[in-house]
Amino acid sequence: MSGRNFVERDYFTDLSVLLNPYEYFEEIRAQGPVYQMQTHDALFVSGYDECIEVLRNNRDFSSAISTSGAAQPLPFEPEGEDISEQIEAHRAEMDPYGLVVTYDGELHSKVRSIVNRLFTPSRLKANKEFMLSYSEMLVKAAVAKGRCEMVNEIATPYVTMVIADLLGVPSEDRDKFREVIDSAPPPGDMESTQTEGPSPLEYMGMFFFGYLQARRENPGVDVLSELAEFTYPDGSLPDLIELVKLSTFMFGAGQDTSAKLLSNATRFITETPGLQDTLRADPGLIPDFLEEVLRLEGSTKATFRLAVRDTKIGGVSVPAGKRIVVGLAAANRDPRRWEHPNEFQLKRPRIREHLAFGRGSHTCAGAPLAKAEVAVILEHFLKQTAHIALNEDKHGTPGNRTLNYEPSYIIRGLANLHVDLVPA
Q: Are strands 385-390 and 418-423 parallel, antiparallel or unpaired?
A: antiparallel
Reply yes or no on whether the pLDDT at 30 is more than 50.
yes
Reply yes or no on whether the pLDDT at 117 is more than 90.
no
Phi, psi values for residue 311, rounded to 5°: -155, -165
- Residue 198's CATH number: 1.10.630.10
Reply yes or no on whether the pLDDT at 188 is more than 80.
no
Q: Which residues pair with 61 in a beta bridge?
A: 307
List the one residue out of 187, 167, 193, 192 whose CA is nearest residue 413. 187
What's the mean pLDDT in 155-178?
Answer: 88
Q: Which of residues 231 and 200 earns the better pLDDT score?
A: 231
pLDDT of residue 5: 67
Q: Are 207 and 173 in contact (CB under 8 A)?
A: yes
> What domain range includes position 321?
3-423
Q: How far apart are CA 95 and CA 136, in angstroms?
A: 39
Query: Cα-Cα-Cα-Cα dihedral of 164, 167, 169, 170, to 10°?
Result: 110
pLDDT of residue 67: 86
List the one residue out of 117, 119, 364 whose CA is nearest residue 232. 117
Give the angle 367-370-375 at the CA atoms, nearest 5°. Answer: 125
pLDDT of residue 2: 46
pLDDT of residue 178: 78
Q: How far apart are CA 216 and CA 212, in angstroms?
A: 6
DSSP secondary structure string, 20-78? --HHHHHHHHHT-SEEE-SSSSEEEE--HHHHHHHHH-TTTEE-TTTTT-TTSPPSS--
Phi, psi values for residue 420, rounded to 5°: -100, 140
Q: Are 376 and 132 in contact (CB under 8 A)?
A: yes
Measure Cα distances from 279 to 85, 274, 288, 379 in Å: 53, 9, 10, 8
Q: In 153-280, at which residue ranges do the beta strands (DSSP E only) sit?
A: none
Q: Are strands 61-62 and 303-307 parallel, antiparallel or unpaired?
A: antiparallel
What's the mean pLDDT in 232-258?
Answer: 84
3-class secondary structure, 336: coil
pLDDT of residue 122: 82
Q: Which residues pair with 148 in a beta bridge?
A: 419
State CA 269 to chain mean position distance.
21
Q: In 146-291, at which residue ranges do the beta strands (DSSP E only) sit?
A: 147-149
What's the mean pLDDT in 232-246?
Answer: 86
Burial (CB count within 10 angstroms: exposed 0-12, middle 13-18, buried 19+), residue 132: middle
Q: How far apart are CA 279 and CA 380, in angstroms?
A: 11
pLDDT of residue 75: 94
Measure Cα distances from 35 to 121, 236, 316, 325 in Å: 40, 45, 9, 10
pLDDT of residue 177: 82
pLDDT of residue 304: 97
Q: Which of residues 395 and 238 earns the better pLDDT score?
A: 395
Helix or strand holding residue 323 (H, E): strand 323-326
Phi, psi values for residue 105, rounded to 5°: 60, -140
Q: Which band of pLDDT confidence, cut at 50, 70 and 90, is reported for residue 184? A: low
**How many distinct structural domains can be found in the chain?**
1
Q: What is the mean pLDDT of the chain?
A: 91
Task: Classify residue 374 by its DSSP letter.
Answer: H
pLDDT of residue 234: 83
**Of the listed ranges 62-76, 127-141, 250-264, 289-303, the one predicted with least confidence:** 250-264
Q: How far apart are CA 22 and CA 37, in angstroms?
A: 16
pLDDT digits (tens, 9 = 90+) for 152-163: 999 999 999 999
Q: How far apart are CA 53 and CA 55, in angstroms?
A: 6
Q: Are 416 and 149 in contact (CB under 8 A)?
A: yes
Q: Which residues contact 226 (CB under 8 A, 6 or more apart)?
A: 117, 118
List the one residue out of 112, 97, 87 whose CA is nearest residue 307. 87
